[in-house]
């Protein structure tokens, strides 16, 4: 009985093995295809990665000439390996990062070498036997102190690499002094410094001259792009939001919002690296990179307000259909104008021109005007006959007007930051549209006045329907944010 079972088991194992073997090429093929897809996608997402790789290959090949060319090898010898190490370590994706690392490395090697040589000289004074003890003590103290300074947040952000190289050079020079004599150590240190300088400069030149990736430009574009994104969203916002049949729009905003929100760390890092970059293209030396962070912060603040508005509007507001249509047009107008203002601001950053400054101010003014017309609607509803229902509508409209006002205020804040950026970065001004200036500027008026004004103008206290006055001035309204309360207080008083 045992024999057939065993042979059956064997047959099962065999067939399993066969199946595994048969599936192996298929599985490997699938895995290889996946990996290949990932590799391809990485290049498609940012084709500059390909040029960067070729640049690194080129710089490496160039620096390897230190070994192949006899004249170079004669003067530097094995120390040429420091040049190769430098190229591998210093060559980064962006010019800013490469320059930062290169300058850090050169300065740190110089200073670390000096200190190391000094300490080594000092340690020889008490005699050969005490030298290693003194050297070890110095190494411990300086290693610990420099590591501590390296950990300080402000230092870590910009000079982390420099401190690491400082400790490295100091250790190598001070320790190797124990085995070599003075002149040997000095020669070695000098050759190392030279090759490191050569490697760093070569990396910087290749990085900055062959298809350079300017991180400052990336920051510039990213900030402009984020403003454009929320502008785009606002333009299509009300239209999509009033027809809440499909929920995909909500999802899409959350996604875009997420990318704007998560930009903070990325932008800070970019600004840090951009500060190493020299003058290039449209960007002067000492371009106000920090100002971009302020614009980015205002943009994120604005995105928060839009989310609150989104939150409010997507809640299937059950207003009578006629009023809904009336509101829809006005709200659409406000959002359109706000979106246009944002896109103008984005364009102003992108093109580095002040030309659209008056345009976006006009758009903001238009948006405010439209908010005013929304309050006119409030007036007509309050003076209408059927009180209870209209009151609810008034609450909804007041809340929406309030939220829209918040969005417009935050757009104004962005515009102020962009204006500051324009003056700091000397954006080109256009004199062509002075005329436009004069015609459109009349539309703008100070915001706080407007805010208090609209309600008071339409509902002077003595002209309010009197039967409300007693009870409603204390009644509850579902309106967010304290700074909007005055608006609403006036409506219902």
Residue 478 as a binder of a copy of itself (CB under 8 A): the answer is yes
Residue 259 as a binder of a copy of itself (CB under 8 A): the answer is no
Nearer to a copy of itself, 12 or 42 (CB): 42
Nearest in space to 370 (alpha carbons), one of 328, 412, 342? 328
Other Cβ atoms closer than 10 A to 206: 21
Nearer to a copy of itself, 376 or 429 (CB): 376
Opening angle at CA 244, ends 240 and 250, nearest 5? 70
User: For residues 452 and 474, what is the distance between their CA atoms, to the nearest angstrom?
Assistant: 19
Cβ of residue 86: shortest distance to a copy of itself, in angstroms? 10
Q: Which of 208, 224, 450, 492 binds a copy of itself (CB under 8 A)?
A: 492
Contact map string, positions 346 to 385, toward a copy of itself, x by CB under 8 A = ----------------------------------------
Cβ of residue 233: shortest distance to a copy of itself, in angstroms? 17
Site for a copy of itself in 396-425 (CB under 8 A): 396-397, 399-400
Residue 228 as a binder of a copy of itself (CB under 8 A): the answer is no
Orientation of helix 289-313 relative to helix 387-424, angle to 10°: 170
Tokens of 475: 């009644």
Site for a copy of itself in 118-147 (CB under 8 A): 132, 135-136, 139-141, 143-145, 147
- Contact segment (CB under 8 A) with a copy of itself among 11-19, 100-108, 346-354, 464-472 equals 464-472
Contact map string, positions 421 to 460, toward a copy of itself, x by CB under 8 A = ----------------------------------------
**DSSP line for 134-170:** HHHHHHHHHHHHHHHHHHSHHHHHHHHHHHHHHHHHH
Cβ of residue 33: shortest distance to a copy of itself, in angstroms? 16
Residue 391 as a binder of a copy of itself (CB under 8 A): the answer is yes
Cβ of residue 5: shortest distance to a copy of itself, in angstroms? 39
Q: Which of 247, 432, 434, 466 binds a copy of itself (CB under 8 A)?
A: 247
Nearer to a copy of itself, 250 or 419 (CB): 250
Residue 479 as a binder of a copy of itself (CB under 8 A): the answer is yes
CB 338, CB 363: distance < 8 Å: yes
Nearest in space to 230 (alpha carbons), one of 248, 255, 265? 255
Tokens of 354: 């002040």
Q: Which of 110, 158, 164, 457 binds a copy of itself (CB under 8 A)?
A: 164
Residue 319 as a binder of a copy of itself (CB under 8 A): the answer is yes
CB 367, CB 403: distance < 8 Å: no
Site for a copy of itself in 75-94 (CB under 8 A): 78, 81, 84-85, 88-89, 93
CB 83, CB 89: distance < 8 Å: no
Q: Which of 201, 261, 352, 447 binds a copy of itself (CB under 8 A)?
A: 261
User: For residues 493 and 484, what is the distance between their CA atoms, to the nearest angstrom?
Assistant: 15
Q: State the burial class of residue 308 (Cβ atoms within 10 Å of its Cβ: 0-12, 13-18, 19+).
A: middle
- Contact segment (CB under 8 A) with a copy of itself among 285-293, 350-358, 359-367, 471-479 equals 471-479
Q: Using DSSP, state whether 428 is helix, strand or coil.
A: strand
Nearer to a copy of itself, 22 or 471 (CB): 471
The distance from CA 276 to its chain's CA centroid, rounded to whole angstroms, is 17
User: For residues 404 and 203, what is the distance between their CA atoms, to the nearest angstrom?
Assistant: 51
CB 165, CB 108: distance < 8 Å: yes
Judged by CB under 8 A, the number of residues near a copy of itself is 100
CB 483, CB 386: distance < 8 Å: no
Residue 248 as a binder of a copy of itself (CB under 8 A): the answer is no
Q: How far is CA 294 from CA 234, 319, 344, 376, 417, in A?
A: 21, 39, 18, 36, 7
Residue 205 as a binder of a copy of itself (CB under 8 A): the answer is no
Cβ of residue 152: shortest distance to a copy of itself, in angstroms? 4
């Amino acid at each position: 009985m045992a024999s057939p079972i065993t042979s059956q088991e064997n047959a099962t194992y065999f067939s399993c093995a066969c199946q595994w073997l048969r599936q192996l090429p298929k599985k490997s093929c699938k895995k290889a295809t996946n990996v290949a897809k990932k590799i391809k996608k990485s290049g498609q997402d940012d084709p500059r990665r390909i040029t960067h790789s070729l640049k690194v290959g080129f710089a490496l090949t160039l620096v390897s000439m230190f070994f192949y060319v006899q004249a170079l090898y004669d003067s530097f010898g094995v120390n040429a390996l420091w040049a190769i190490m430098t190229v591998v370590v210093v060559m980064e994706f962006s010019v800013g990062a490469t320059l930062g690392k290169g300058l850090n490395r050169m300065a740190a090697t110089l200073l670390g070498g000096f200190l190391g040589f000094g300490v080594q000289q000092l340690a020889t004074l008490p005699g050969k036997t005490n030298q290693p003890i003194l050297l070890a003590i110095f190494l411990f103290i300086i290693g610990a102190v420099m590591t501590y300074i390296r950990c300080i947040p402000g230092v870590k952000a910009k000079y982390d690499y420099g401190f690491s190289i400082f400790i490295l050079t100091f250790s190598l020079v001070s320790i190797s002094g124990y085995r070599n004599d003075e002149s040997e150590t000095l020669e070695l240190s000098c050759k190392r410094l030279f090759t490191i300088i050569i490697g760093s400069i070569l990396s910087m030149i290749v990085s900055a001259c062959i298809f350079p990736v300017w991180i400052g430009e990336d920051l510039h574009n990213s900030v402009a792009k984020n403003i454009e994104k929320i502008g785009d969203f606002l333009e299509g916002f009300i239209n999509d939001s009033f027809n809440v049949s499909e929920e995909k729009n909500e999802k899409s905003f959350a996604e875009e919002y997420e990318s704007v929100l998560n930009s903070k760390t990325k932008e800070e890092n970019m600004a840090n690296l951009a500060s190493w970059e020299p003058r290039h293209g449209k960007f002067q030396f000492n371009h106000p990179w920090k100002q971009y962070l302020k614009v980015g912060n205002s943009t994120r603040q604005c995105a928060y307000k839009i989310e609150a508005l989104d939150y409010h509007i997507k809640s299937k507001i059950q207003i009578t259909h006629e009023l809904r249509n009336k509101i829809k047009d006005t709200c659409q107008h406000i959002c359109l104008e706000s979106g246009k203002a944002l896109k103008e601001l984005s364009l102003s950053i992108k093109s580095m021109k002040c030309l659209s400054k008056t345009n976006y101010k006009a758009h903001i003014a238009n948006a405010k005007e439209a908010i005013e017309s929304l309050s006119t609607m409030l007036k007509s509803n309050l003076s209408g006959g059927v009180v209870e229902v209209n009151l609810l509508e008034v609450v909804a409209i007041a809340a929406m007007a309030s939220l829209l006002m918040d969005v417009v205020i935050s757009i104004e804040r962005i515009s102020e930051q962009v204006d500051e950026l324009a003056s700091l970065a000397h954006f080109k001004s256009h004199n062509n549209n002075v005329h436009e200036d004069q015609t459109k500027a009349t539309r703008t008026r100070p915001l706080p006045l407007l805010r208090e004004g609209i309600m008071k103008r339409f509902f002077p206290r003595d002209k309010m329907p009197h039967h409300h006055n007693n009870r409603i001035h204390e009644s509850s309204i579902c309106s967010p944010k304290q700074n909007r309360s005055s608006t609403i207080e006036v409506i219902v008083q």
